[in-house]
Amino acid sequence: MLSARELARVFFAGESDEARIVAADAFDECEHLGAASIAIGVFDGVHRGHQELIAALVRDARAHGCKAVVVTFDPDPDVVVSSSPAQKLMTTADRLHALAQTGVDVVVAVPFTPEVAVLDHVGFLALLSRVVDIRSIRVGSDFRLGRGGASGVAEMRAWGAVHGVDVYGHDLLCEGGEAICATRIRHELGQGHVELAAELLGRPYMVRGGVIRGRHEGSGMGFPTANLQVPDGIQVPADGVYEGLVLVDDTVWPAAVNVGLPPTYADDAASAHLEANLIGYTGDLYGSSVSLAFTRWLRPSRLFDSLDELIATVEGNIEDIRHNLGEQGVSIRD
């Protein structure tokens, strides 16, 4: 099992080192924050590439003797401008929370309204100047802003030259010869490659959800499962069986996870689509909110001819996980 500190990081459950968050609904009333180096982006996933860019932002701020401010959007612009938005790696709340743990001073969420969507860099930077006195700007080298992506690094540099603001186009961090980006991570999750996704993210992929009632058959089979309802629009890894970690209150439990309609019970509408057996847990989870991190792909879900075979196979998976992650919960506050 990971250390308490690492587990807290997986679930963004740390309480220290948190930056101030100016949420989108507080943007209009936000007081002026003073001089700042800023980074602008959506930052879905807050993956290793984002983390590297933000570490460079913190250095920019130090060099300019001012605050480090991450500027992001709520909602994710893709949800507003695209007719078929991608599944997201994080809710906005988690995105802001994860950004607030990167060592910056402030995270500002700009409300992504239709009016903001049409602004080019000149209009957008004027809007931002209401809350910060911009000293430097750092964006990914492929960054685009405005209607049809009208403004990029070159346009922002030209603006910076006039206003005495340094503009840095940050080279995208690569892994395996390819840039790390949210689309790539979504693709890997869609293939069930949760270990590769974790390598790109810098931590295991995590979703949160409420525990709902299922067919109540798990307990009878010897492995009760918490059925999770993940918010709409949030990506879930490909159907299959995984090893995972589940956070309940302050405790992380090793877990055996099934994603997708169980093939053996596919015609039962009450079957769970995402369920986890928490190893070592006894109690009632109905109605509670839990977080689930995917640590290892185990096998595809399959159709079993007999119940005994299903139970023996799942018990084998649980045994494997118990061996790998232990057989009890670990507090993240230790």
Ligand X SMILES: Cc1cc2nc3c(=O)[nH]c(=O)nc-3n(C[C@H](O)[C@H](O)[C@H](O)COP(=O)(O)O)c2cc1C
Ligand Y SMILES: Nc1ncnc2c1ncn2[C@@H]1O[C@H](COP(=O)(O)OP(=O)(O)O)[C@@H](O)[C@H]1O
For ligand X, the binding residues (CB under 6 A) are 214-218, 223, 225, 227, 241, 256, 258, 262-265, 271-272, 275, 277, 301-302, 304, 310, 314, 317
Task: Look at residue 281 and give the partner it binds from ligand Y, ligand X, none, a contact being a CB closer than 5 to 8 Å depending on partner kind.
Answer: ligand Y
DSSP structural state of residue 149: G
Tokens of 287: 């109605």
DSSP structural state of residue 134: E
Query: Is 213 among the residues that bind ligand Y (CB under 6 A)?
Result: yes
Count CB atoms within 10 A of the CB of residue 296.
17
Count CB atoms within 10 A of the CB of residue 261.
16
Distance of closest approach, residue 238 Cβ to ligand X, in angstroms: 14
Distance of closest approach, residue 259 Cβ to ligand Y, in angstroms: 15
Nearer Cβ to ligand X (176/216): 216
Residue from 113, 286, 307, 308 in contact with ligand Y (CB under 6 A): 286
Residue reference for tokens 């067919």: 215
Query: Is 211 among the residues that bind ligand Y (CB under 6 A)?
Result: yes
Residue 187 three-state SS: helix
Distance of closest approach, residue 224 Cβ to ligand Y, in angstroms: 4
Asked if residue 36 lies in contact with residue 134, where contact means CB atoms within 8 angstroms, the answer is yes
Query: Is 290 among the residues that bind ligand Y (CB under 6 A)?
Result: no
Residue from 146, 192, 209, 224 in contact with ligand Y (CB under 6 A): 224
Query: Is 278 among the residues that bind ligand Y (CB under 6 A)?
Result: yes
- Annotated catalytic residue: which of 188, 199, 243, 275? 275
Q: Is 243 a catalytic residue?
A: no
Residue showing the smallest CB distance to ligand Y in the complex:
218
Query: Is 269 among the residues that bind ligand Y (CB under 6 A)?
Result: no
What strands lie across the sheet with 106-111, from one edge to the other? 20-22, 106-111, 67-74, 35-40, 133-140, 166-170
User: CA–CA distance from 85 to each of 40, 81, 133, 224, 282 (Å)?
Assistant: 20, 8, 33, 35, 39
Task: Look at residue 125 and give the partner it binds from ligand Y, ligand X, none, a contact being a CB closer than 5 to 8 Å depending on partner kind.
Answer: none
Residue 268 three-state SS: coil
Tokens of 283: 């109690």
Nearer Cβ to ligand X (157/273): 273
Task: Look at residue 213 and give the partner it binds from ligand X, ligand Y, none, a contact being a CB closer than 5 to 8 Å depending on partner kind.
Answer: ligand Y
Residue reference for tokens 């209401």: 130
Task: Look at residue 192 and give the partner it binds from ligand Y, ligand X, none, a contact being a CB closer than 5 to 8 Å depending on partner kind.
Answer: none
Query: Is 51 among the residues that bind ligand Y (CB under 6 A)?
Result: no
Task: Choose among 256, 199, 265: nearest CA to 225.
Answer: 256
Residue length, the chain? 334
Which residues are tagged catalytic?
A: 275
